[in-house]
């Protein structure tokens, strides 16, 4: 899971990191600006798995706040 300085949180497979940012594969995106609960989204992702919205996402370095294993989140 990659939390950002903006409204979006990304869950997916951590692929790599370079000077541009964090590359993720098979990525689900939650945007708190759309009104739904981030905690609920993460809870469902832990239990039911990641609903992939994008094959590949690059999260820019300056947006990355925290990278956490989804399996480390409480169920």
Partner 1 sequence: MPYNPALVAPMRAEMTQMGAKELTSVSEVDAVIGDQKGSMLVFVNSVCGCAAGNARPALALALKHNVVPQQVVTVFAGQDVEAAARARQYFGEYQPSSPSMALLRDGEVVHFVHRHQIEGRSPQAIAGELTAAFDRFFGATV
In the list 7, 49, 60, 68, the residue contacting partner 1 (rule: CB under 8 A) is 49
> Mapping DSSP to helix (H, G, I), strand (E, B) and coil, where does residue 42 land?
helix
In the list 19, 33, 35, 48, the residue contacting partner 1 (rule: CB under 8 A) is 48
Assess contact for 15 and 25: CB atoms under 8 A.
yes
Bridge-based pairing of strands 8-18 and 64-67 is unpaired
Q: Within the chain, where are the H helices?
A: 38-48
Shortest reach from residue 49's CB to partner 1, in Å: 3
Shortest reach from residue 62's CB to partner 1, in Å: 26
- Token output for 53: 């919205």
Residues of span 16-45 touching partner 1 by CB under 8 A? none
Per CB under 8 A, the segment of 17-25, 29-37, 47-55, 57-65 that binds partner 1 is 47-55
Beta bridge partners of 11: 28
Does 66 contact partner 1 by CB under 8 A?
Answer: no
């Amino acid at each position: 899971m990659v939390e950002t300085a903006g409204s979006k949180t990304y869950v997916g497979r951590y692929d790599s990191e370079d000077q541009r940012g964090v590359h993720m594969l098979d990525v689900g995106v939650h945007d708190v600006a759309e009104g739904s609960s981030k905690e609920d989204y993460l809870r469902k992702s832990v239990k039911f798995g990641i609903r992939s919205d994008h094959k590949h996402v690059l999260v820019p370095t300056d947006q990355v706040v925290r990278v956490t294993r989804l399996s480390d989140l409480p169920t």
